[in-house]
Amino acid sequence: MMWQHLLVALGVNLVLSFLAWKIGGVRGSGVWGGLLVGVPIYYCLGLSGFLVLVGMFVIGTVLTKFGYGKKAAMGAAEDRKGARGASHALANVGVATLAAILALITNNPVFPLAYVAALATSAMDTAGSELGPLYGKKTISLKNLRPVPPGTEGAVSLEGTLGGLLVAALLGLLGAGLGVISWPGVLFVVLGAFIGNLYEGILGSRKLLPHSWLNATNTLVGALAASLFLL
């Protein structure tokens, strides 16, 4: 039974990774990176938990592609037309994968919450980065609260932040609707995502870490913050 479940997890991830590659959502390395995080997540949390990951990927891909030409002209677009690589998968989903594994090992409800919060934190970061340059009226640096160009590391806009909070809430609601977390846990997910992104913005504005490490730290702080609300 264990091997059958593992084979199903591998098969589902292979199919979806191939489809993601075909539509330009990931590049070659992103397929392998997706398998590294997707297979253990499916195995540990089942289809319900895996669908939260799928939701994050779909939302992130749509937002990245949306208005890409305008964002590229502003210098605020993802490179390679937004196709993600292995480093993106590991930085954005690595913490969530660890939480999924711990959820299986311990059967403690704090870890499914940490899992959803980590994904919601990453999704909020993506939404803010992709929507802020398009709709943000004023972008400020969290280092000194002064106006900066859209796309500046560690900068935020009101519109991008609100869009990010909405996306985090959507993922939290998806997780609750699928039974991965409780309905009250949705609030903890949103609060964790906000705290994680605020922390990342402060670090990013001071250029203390490479971008991929910022993303990983972002999700870790978001997951920990949400978990503390439950304890």
Query: Which pLDDT does position 78 carry in this prediction?
Result: 66
Q: Mean pLDDT, the chain, as a whole number?
A: 89
Contact 171, 120 (CB under 8 A): yes
Per-residue pLDDT tens for 130-140?
Answer: 887 787 678 88
Q: Is residue 198 predicted with pLDDT exceeding 70?
A: yes
- Higher-confidence position of 22 and 113: 113
Q: Which of 59-63, 80-84, 173-177, 226-230 has the highest mean pLDDT?
A: 173-177
Structure tokens at 229: 């609300």
Alpha-carbon distance values, 80 to 21, 23, 73, 93, 132 (Å): 13, 13, 14, 20, 20
Confidence of residue 157 (pLDDT cuts 50, 70, 90): confident
Structure tokens at 61: 């891909």
Domain ranges of the chain: 2-230
Query: Which pLDDT does position 164 carry in this prediction?
Result: 94
Choice among 67-71, 96-100, 107-111, 227-231 with the minimum mean pLDDT = 67-71
Q: Is residue 77 predicted with pLDDT exceeding 60?
A: no
Please compute the mean of the pLDDT values over residues 168-185 and round it to a whole number: 98
Q: Is residue 30 predicted with pLDDT exceeding 80?
A: yes
Nearest alpha-carbon partner for 139 in 126, 124, 120, 153: 153
Please compute the mean of the pLDDT values over residues 15-36 and round it to a whole number: 88
pTM of the predicted structure, to 2 decimals: 0.93
Alpha-carbon distance values, 104 to 132, 156, 198, 231 (Å): 37, 36, 30, 19
Q: Locate the DSSP E strands across the chain.
A: 139-141, 155-157
Q: How far apart are CA 90 and CA 95, in angstroms?
A: 8
Please compute the mean of the pLDDT values over residues 175-193 and round it to a whole number: 98
Query: Which pLDDT does position 76 carry in this prediction?
Result: 59
Q: 171 by DSSP, 3-state: which?
A: helix
Buried b (16+ CB within 10 A) or exposed e, 31-46: bebbbbbbbbbbbbbb
Q: Are strands 155-157 and 139-141 parallel, antiparallel or unpaired?
A: antiparallel
CB atoms within 10 A of CB 10: 15
